Structure 1
Amino acid sequence: MTRLTARVQHRDVVLAIIVLFALIAFAPAPGSDLPKVSVTTYHNGIARQGVNSAETILTPANVSSRRFGKLFSQGVDGSVYAQPLYVSDLYIPGRAIHNVIFVATQHGSVYAFDADSNRGAGAAPIWKVTLADAGAGVTSVSSDDVACGDITPEIGITGTPVIDPDSGTLYVVAKTKESGQVVQRLHALDVATGAEQRGGPVTISGTVRGKGAGSTNGWLHFDALHENQRPGLLLQNGLVYVSWAAHCDGWPFHGWVMAYEASTLEQVGVWNSTPDRQGGGIWQSGAAPAGDGEDLFFATGNGDFTATKGGSDFGDSILRLGWRRGSLRVLDFFTPYDEANLNAGDIEPGSGGVVLFSAPKTGHQLAVETSKSGTLYIVDPTRMGHFNASSNNNIVQSLPSATGGVWGTPAWWKDTLYVGPSYDTMKAFRFNPDLNLFELSPVSQGATTFRFPGPTPSISANGDRSGILWVVQSDAYVDDGPAVLRAYNAADLSQQLYASSDNPRRDDPGRAVKFAVPTIANGKVYVGAKDRITVFGLR
Structure 2
Amino acid sequence: MLHALTGGSAARTAWRSGFTGLAAILVAGACSQPSAPVAPAAETTAAAPADTAVLTQRGDPTRVGWNRHETVLTQATVADGRFGQRIAYPLDGAVYAQPLFVPGLHGHNAAIVATEHGSVYALDADAKGAARAPLWQRSLLPAGAKPVSASDDVKCESISPEVGVTGTPVIDPATNTLYVVATMHGQAGIVDRMYALDVSTGKDKLSPVTLSAAVAGSNSSNGKVRFDAAFEQQRVGLLLQDGVVYAAFSSYCSRMPYEGWILGYQAKDLRQAVVYTDNPDQGSSGRRPGGGGIWQSQTGLVGYQGSIFVTTGNGPYNLNQPGGRNAGMSLLRLVRDGGTLRVADAFTPFNVTCLNDHDQDLSSGAPLLLTGQGEVLEISKEGRIEVTKIDSLGGFHTIDAPCGHQDRTDVDQIVQELPIQTVAGGVWGAETTWTGGGRTYVYTAGVADKLTAWQLVDGKIVEPAASQAPEGLSYPGGIPVVSSNGDQPGTAVVWIVGNQAGGPVLRAYDPTDLRRELVHEKLTGYTNFTVPTVADGRVVVGTQQSVLIYGPL
TM-score w.r.t. structure 1 length? 0.89
Secondary structure at the counterpart of residue 201 of structure 1: strand
CA offset digits 1:480-502 (Å, max 9, x no partner): x853101111121111111113x
State the partner residue of 1:7.
none
**Counterparts of 1:231-250 in structure 2 under 5 Å?**
231-250=236-255
Distance 1:70 1:392, change over 3 A: farther
2:524 aligned to which of 504, 510, 524: 510
1:74 aligned to which of 89, 101, 104: 89
Contact 2:48 2:536 in 1 (8 A): no
Indicate yes or no: 2:369 matched with 1:356: yes
Q: Distance in 1 between matches of 2:270 and 2:168?
A: 18
Distance 1:338 1:19, change over 3 A: farther
1:294 aligned to which of 292, 297, 306: 306
Indicate yes or no: 2:425 matched with 1:420: no
Distance 1:306 1:34, change over 3 A: closer
Indicate yes or no: 2:119 matched with 1:109: yes
**Counterparts of 1:68-467 in structure 2 under 5 Å?**
68-90=83-105, 92=106, 97-117=107-127, 123-133=132-142, 136-143=143-150, 144-179=152-187, 181-197=189-205, 199-212=206-219, 215-277=220-282, 278-310=290-322, 311-359=324-372, 364-390=373-399, 391-400=410-419, 401-404=421-424, 405-414=426-435, 415-433=440-458, 436-465=459-488, 466-467=491-492
**Quick one: which amino acid aligns to residue 177 of structure 1?**
H
**Quick one: which amino acid aligns to residue 512 of structure 1?**
Y
Identity of aligned residues (%): 39
Distance 1:514 1:33, change over 3 A: closer
Contact 1:474 1:515 in 2 (8 A): no
Deviation of the 1:396 alpha carbon? 1.6
Q: Distance in 1 between matches of 2:524 and 2:172?
A: 30
**Counterparts of 1:524-535 in structure 2 under 5 Å?**
524-535=538-549
CA offset digits 1:34-70 (Å, max 9, x no partner): 6550001111111111011111111111213721111
Q: Distance in 1 between matches of 2:470 and 2:503?
A: 20
Contact 1:23 1:44 in 2 (8 A): no
Distance 1:241 1:32, change over 3 A: closer
**Alignment RMSD (CA, Å):** 2.2
Q: Distance in 2 between matches of 1:71 and 1:293?
A: 39
Indicate yes or no: 2:69 matched with 1:54: yes
CA offset digits 1:210-238 (Å, max 9, x no partner): 122xx241110000111000100011111
Distance 1:492 1:19, change over 3 A: farther
Distance 1:265 1:33, change over 3 A: closer
Aligned length: 503
**Counterparts of 1:17-36 in structure 2 under 5 Å?**
17=13, 26-27=22-23
Deviation of the 1:388 alpha carbon? 0.5
Indicate yes or no: 2:8 matched with 1:12: yes
CA offset digits 1:392-450 (Å, max 9, x no partner): 441121122321211011011102111111111111111113xx322132111111110
Q: Distance in 2 between matches of 1:452 and 1:402?
A: 17
Please, which runs of 5 or more residues in structure 1 have no aligned partner? 5-9, 502-508
Q: Distance in 1 between matches of 2:20 and 2:369?
A: 19
State the partner residue of 1:493.
514
Contact 1:23 1:52 in 2 (8 A): no
Q: Distance in 1 between matches of 2:66 and 2:299?
A: 14
Q: Distance in 1 between matches of 2:358 and 2:238?
A: 29
TM-score w.r.t. structure 2 length? 0.87
Indicate yes or no: 2:68 matched with 1:63: no
Distance 1:253 1:34, change over 3 A: closer
Contact 2:86 2:128 in 1 (8 A): no
**Quick one: which amino acid aligns to residue 378 of structure 2?**
E
Deviation of the 1:327 alpha carbon? 2.5
Distance 1:486 1:177, change over 3 A: same
Contact 2:22 2:176 in 1 (8 A): no
Secondary structure at the counterpart of residue 416 of structure 1: strand
CA offset digits 1:132-188 (Å, max 9, x no partner): 14xx31111111210111111111111100111111111000011112611111101
**Quick one: which amino acid aligns to residue 301 of structure 2?**
P
Q: Distance in 2 between matches of 1:204 and 1:220?
A: 15
Contact 2:470 2:515 in 1 (8 A): yes
Deviation of the 1:128 alpha carbon? 0.7
Deviation of the 1:19 alpha carbon? 6.5
Q: Distance in 2 between matches of 1:345 and 1:511?
A: 32
